Structure 1
């Protein structure tokens, strides 16, 4: 199995499930840190800041730095800033998205006369927020969604994800959004820009075919599927475009990396 100069790594289903660390995850990250192999944690979760992600990883015994985290909120802020610096934005979302947009110098407004509408996961969503977003899009605001995940895994089961919230505005405004998170390319391009390596030198690691593996395929890098989350080995290998490799868990990859040291 090929090893790489750097890795982009999914979180839920790859390193942990809820509050439970996945077998081999801590040892794998410790190995990357030990051998000074660059890696970034790439997540569609727009509700958390990089500091929040680092805190979550610390709670399961993984040492990380905020500079190693790329969220869909960060990629969304970068995308809007590149399109129109200092743009006005109506936002549906949580603190992670708000912080990213403000840090990028964007002007958040509780108004329907804005340049952009951004929809991120908001567990306090209500009719008024959806109404303002819909009206703003109808008035010409560019419609952005942090990610299209239809559901998110919680202790109770699979709950409505940001893709479900976004669909309300999509249907009501008759406008399709620009999606930023996995499996789309903006979030992956931000991560690759940070690494400053050739695509052939980087691999995406994840458990979910439709987001993690497809994000690597769409941006043109190799993919490592781990059989520790949602998508089974049998399912990924039956896809028209399968992952570069499917492994039982991250311990398998760590052994290969250690062979090359």
Structure 2
């Protein structure tokens, strides 16, 4: 069994943005991991693409990815919603994920009379959508679920916008209710990730990401793995780390995933 494993964030770490243009050094690094027999998975919070479509996209970009090497919140969304006996949902997100939820057996409605509100990445979120979601929670007693708890997302124009976690937190505050998250940094997500890489000792697992909050600090708090903050994504400076508790600071700060090579030289 391999001595170490890597959980690799997608946007800002392996690829530049939603164009899924790979960082050349990311392709090199994952190829080295494969050559050395070191397990790794794409540990993404992607909430815009169906998992099968995302695998096809990444393979077309040169990544050696299959359904054993990609963990998406969509898998856990279906599992969790069914466990919670949810039949109908109001969904904030893309038509692709809406279709995925329908294919998985859920009634996706456009009004507030639903069992659950599910928040994904919605570039067309507006007041009416927030009103419907809030009404579902307050008036109909709907439960609130979120694809993940990321605060911001880097767009193609170089600017950042509120991400899924920010919108879910808005609804949680309005509806005075808890959020159940499918993605990072939920323990459910990382438990599945550990199973996929075949290692259960968190000290042997590195989470590499450009998100020091949900992916790294949140993940370290949840499961205690090693964390690597890369400056290739939405936070180009380590200044952002000043707001994070000392015991949740990243174990390593690298300019890009290329520098992770120093972590495998003795593996």
**Partner of residue 215 from structure 2, selected from 201, 212, 215:** 212
Task: Give CA-to-partner distance per residue, 1:189-219, whole Å, 9 cap, x none.
Answer: 3322433421333221112211221243022
Alignment of 1:33 with 2:34, yes or no, is yes
Distance in 1 between the 2:199 and 2:34 partners? 18
Equivalent pair of 1:22/1:228 in contact (CA under 8 Å): no
Alignment of 1:224 with 2:228, yes or no, is yes
Distance in 2 between the 1:204 and 1:103 partners? 31
Equivalent pair of 2:12/2:210 in contact (CA under 8 Å): yes
Distance in 2 between the 1:106 and 1:5 partners? 38
Equivalent pair of 1:74/1:97 in contact (CA under 8 Å): no
Structure 1 residue 118 displacement after superposition: 0.9
Alignment of 1:1-261 (within 5 A): 4-18=3-17, 19=19, 20-58=21-59, 60-84=61-85, 87-138=87-138, 139-156=140-157, 157-200=159-202, 201-217=204-220, 218-229=222-233, 230=235, 232-233=237-238, 236=241, 239-241=245-247, 242-260=249-267
Distance in 1 between the 2:124 and 2:32 partners? 39
Equivalent pair of 1:74/1:101 in contact (CA under 8 Å): no
Equivalent pair of 1:150/1:161 in contact (CA under 8 Å): yes
What SS does structure 2 have at the residue aligned with 1:210?
A: helix
Structure 1 residue 68 displacement after superposition: 1.8
Task: Give CA-to-partner distance per residue, 1:197-247, whole Å, 9 cap, x none.
Answer: 213332211122112212430222222223433264565498512223333
Structure 1 residue 100 displacement after superposition: 4.4
Distance in 2 between the 1:102 and 1:11 partners? 25
What SS does structure 2 have at the residue aligned with 1:67?
A: coil
- Can you give the 5+ residue segments of structure 2 that lack an aligned partner in the other structure? none
C-alpha distance 24-103 of structure 1, shift in aligned 2 (>3 A): same
C-alpha distance 255-162 of structure 1, shift in aligned 2 (>3 A): closer
- Can you give the 5+ residue segments of structure 1 that lack an aligned partner in the other structure? none
Distance in 2 between the 1:252 and 1:172 partners? 43
Distance in 2 between the 1:112 and 1:49 partners? 25
- For normalisation by structure 2, the TM-score amounts to 0.80
Structure 1 residue 151 displacement after superposition: 2.6
- For normalisation by structure 1, the TM-score amounts to 0.82
What SS does structure 1 have at the residue aligned with 2:121?
A: coil
Distance in 2 between the 1:67 and 1:49 partners? 15
